[in-house]
Amino acid sequence: MRPPPLAVLDDTLFDEHYPRYVRERSRQFWTPVSVAARAAAAFSLHKATRILDVGCGPGKFCIVAGCLQPELEIHGVEQRPRLVRLGSALARRLGAPNVRFSAADATRVSWEEYDGLYFFNPFGENIFDEHEWFDNEVDLSRMRFSTDLLRAERLLARARVGTVVVTYHGLGGAIPSSYELVSDDRAGSDRLRTWVKRSQDQTAWAWLESRSSVTQVSRSDMRDALASLICGDPARNVLLD
């Protein structure tokens, strides 16, 4: 196994590869190097090899994970083309041929080819105040927040048995009951959780993450539970990837 490049080992060094407007928002929006390393190790531990990063930004998680775990094939999907270009260029520069990027809405592409999915609360920017947005290049709204979460839940429900999901600062919405929480550890500024899909059966409840816990919520109560979560604490203030 080739050694990882030095710049992968430290956030400050890694972020120097990005232009200033990306570096300045790194602590708010991108996965820390130490968290990315642990998430990549979780995918390897559970034998996931084809990883989708939903809302990858300029590719920090993808590149760190790809350099540290070269057996992984990682695809980052991001809605801002200029960030995709930055990620693609940096992956080439750091020698990560197992990492690729696409400009798209990740909830509108197929997830069927992947056995691993990474989420750093990718939909939360929709419910930020406008001055907290990364930029004004994409449409953001509470309506889109709800729509994206519904699409993500459906895609997770259709994923194959054995699919591994890793969340940092949560998915932001419901995780189908067919997933089992197999690890829940403190990491960075929140929790790093690993889920494995155990069956195709769906029940009348789903999992909902918060900063401090994971709870079972009935589908009939999910809307109120999400509203409480958004107004009360985590989803409003969580970081994004």
Confidence of residue 231 (pLDDT cuts 50, 70, 90): low
- Is position 195 within any domain? yes
Question: What is the number of structural domains in the chain?
Answer: 1
Decide: 155 and 136 in contact? Cβ < 8 Å.
no
How many Cβ atoms are within 10 Å of 147's Cβ, its own excluded? Answer: 14
pTM for the full predicted model: 0.91
- Is position 178 within any domain? yes
Cα separation of the two ends of the chain: 27
CA dist 38 and 224 (Å) reads 33
- Is position 162 within any domain? yes
Confidence of residue 239 (pLDDT cuts 50, 70, 90): very low
- Is position 63 within any domain? yes
Range of the domain at 230: 6-237
- Is position 226 within any domain? yes
- Is position 1 within any domain? no
CATH number at residue 161: 3.40.50.150
Q: Which ranges of the chain would DSSP assign to H, the alpha helix?
A: 11-15, 20-23, 26-29, 33-45, 60-68, 81-93, 142-158, 222-232, 234-237
- Is position 161 within any domain? yes
Q: CA dist 63 to 7, 36, 41, 198, 239, Å?
A: 11, 9, 14, 29, 19
Residue 5 C-alpha from the chain's centroid: 23
Decide: 69 and 43 in contact? Cβ < 8 Å.
yes
- pLDDT tens for each residue of 120-142: 999 999 999 999 999 999 999 99
